[in-house]
Structure 1
Amino acid sequence: MRELFLADQQAYIRWIDLPGDGPVRVFVHGLGCTSTSDFAHIAAHQALERGRALLVDLLGYGLSDRPADFDYRMESQAAVVAAVLDHLGLAGVDLVGHSMGGAVAIHLSAARPDLVARLVVAEPNLYAGGGAFSSPVAAQDEDAFVASGFARMLAVTDRPDYAARLRLADPRALHRSAVALVEGSTPAPGDLLAALGLPRTFLVGEWSLPDPEVEKVAGFGVPVIEIPRAGHNLTLDNPDGFATALARALSAAQASLPGHGGS
């Protein structure tokens, strides 16, 4: 585990740094999750070249600190991940984000295109409104959710694997993140994704289709790869399928980069 102290937040952000050669891959998790639980087995998968991988826990989640005054918006989390990359002297990384982490990754790519060579997002939050998990959380009062709503949610979830990850999240961070996803941002991640000039790919699970946002993304000219036998929890539902799709996305994006025969 490695860490960086963020003076503005008076908090540490932490990540796992897996060694390797070649392009650096940076993984960013979704709401209530951790990058280690969701991406360690993907980063080490035989379908991918054994490059260096950073498994980043966003503030409020996993091993990272939980600053009480942080707003936990996607733009703010993106700035924190950018600070990690600046601290490590990294640029031109392969950035991979799932769900909320996909929105964070899009904001990072738009704000700091110098840091990102290729972007892969898996069922990211593209527009305001939230999802099946974030919307019920955001509908509750923040203090009430912290006091009792979080515990009730843990008690009734039907996915033990998600409960295991959720227990590592800070309730207030979770609520503020959910509110931010429901409220959305201006510009929206979907509009930012459409305007990005770097290679980008959208991954979606078979069980998540049909989805009008996927059709909209395809209309932007963003390649879409469907992962069979997977719903929103793609890396856990079908790890082999996710890793294979990620390798395909990165390979195709590599071919489109200047100097690799792309247009």
Structure 2
Amino acid sequence: MRELFLTEARGFVRWLDLPGGAGQDTAGGAPARVFVHGLGCTGASDFAHIAVHPALPGRRRSLLVDLLGFGLSDRPADFDYRMESQAAVVARILDHEGLTGVELVGHSMGGAVAIRLAAARPDLVDRLVVAEPNLAAGGGAFSGPVAAQDEDAFVREGFAAMVAGADRADYAARLRLADPRAVHRSAVALVEGAVPSEGELLAALRRPRAFLVGELSLPDADAERVAGFGIPVLPVPGAGHNMMIDNPDGFALALARALA
């Protein structure tokens, strides 16, 4: 576990740094992979088993980021938890580590963060793979109901009810590590959206991109929209939105194709 203190946020962001194979971690080696989790999740829970999966081409140095407010990162009370702010935090990590041209992978909310990072700092990202990211205002099945609640009420009661009522035990376990205020502000940001939208930014990016979608999520309007941009859309068989958990082997195979 590594950490970096962010003066502007007055807190530490933390990430797992998994070493690559021989010759992969030195200057001139293969680019690092950076993984960004979704709402209420953590880098390790969602991607540790993916980062070391034998289906991925080459054993690369992999950074599994816990976004501010989630996992083992700090929970600054005055941070806005918007996608562009989280993207700036991930950029600070990459600058701190001296990394450029990474392979960036983001799921759900983390996909929106990854898109904003690739758009704002093209020097940092060589390839981008997003898995069912938030592409427009309106939120999703998790963020919409959260954003509809008052922030203080959600912190007092709504968060505990959300954890208790989670229909997946694995999601409840990940969610318990999140800060309630961070969850609420993130959800509000996803529902409100931003201009330009993540979908518009994704369409405009000039670098290799791919979109992963769970087979059980199909038909999916975002996948159809992205395909219209000429971006490869790769399904993960037998999986829904939580595709890294539902079918790790299928997700790793799809990711390997996306990075090929």
What band does the TM-score fall into relative to the shorter chain? over 0.9
Q: Deviations over 1:26-53 (max 9, x none)?
A: 0000000001000000001010121100
- 1:139 Cα deviation (Å)? 0.2
Tell me the amino acid that sits aligned with residue 37 of structure 1: S
Q: Distance in 2 between matches of 1:2 and 1:157?
A: 30
Structure 2 unmatched ranges of 5 or more: 25-29
SS in structure 2 of the partner of residue 90 of structure 1 = coil
SS in structure 1 of the partner of residue 140 of structure 2 = coil
Question: Of residues 140, 152, 155 in structure 2, which corresponds to 1:131?
Answer: 140
- 1:158 Cα deviation (Å)? 1.5
Question: Of residues 12, 36, 50 in structure 2, which corresponds to 1:42?
Answer: 50
Q: Deviations over 1:130-153 (max 9, x none)?
A: 001100000000000000100111
Q: Distance in 2 between matches of 1:155 and 1:42?
A: 28
Tell me the amino acid that sits aligned with residue 41 of structure 2: C
Q: What is the TM-score of this pair, normalised by structure 2? A: 0.96
- 1:199 Cα deviation (Å)? 0.5
Question: Of residues 118, 121, 128 in structure 2, which corresponds to 1:119?
Answer: 128
Q: Provide the residue aligned with 1:6 in structure 2.
A: 6
Q: Provide the residue aligned with 1:15 in structure 2.
A: 15
Give the alignment's Cα RMSD to 1 decimal.
0.5
Structure 1 unmatched ranges of 5 or more: 252-263
Q: Provide the residue aligned with 1:75 in structure 2.
A: 84
Q: Distance in 2 between matches of 1:132 and 1:209?
A: 15
Q: Provide the residue aligned with 2:182 in structure 1.
A: 173
- Note the 1:1-263 alignment, pairs <5 A: 1-20=1-20, 21=24, 22-48=30-56, 49-251=58-260
SS in structure 2 of the partner of residue 114 of structure 1 = coil
Tell me the amino acid that sits aligned with residue 161 of structure 2: R
Tell me the amino acid that sits aligned with residue 223 of structure 1: P
Percent identity (aligned): 76
Q: Distance in 2 between matches of 1:80 and 1:157?
A: 29
Tell me the amino acid that sits aligned with residue 2 of structure 1: R
Tell me the amino acid that sits aligned with residue 191 of structure 2: V
Aligned length: 251
Tell me the amino acid that sits aligned with residue 241 of structure 2: H
- 1:202 Cα deviation (Å)? 0.2
Segments of 4+ in structure 1 off by > 4 A?
A: none
Q: Distance in 2 between matches of 1:73 and 1:142?
A: 15
Q: Distance in 2 between matches of 1:191 and 1:78?
A: 16
- 1:23 Cα deviation (Å)? 1.8
Tell me the amino acid that sits aligned with residue 183 of structure 1: E
Q: What is the TM-score of this pair, normalised by structure 1? A: 0.95
Tell me the amino acid that sits aligned with residue 33 of structure 1: C
Q: Distance in 1 between matches of 2:222 and 2:10?
A: 37
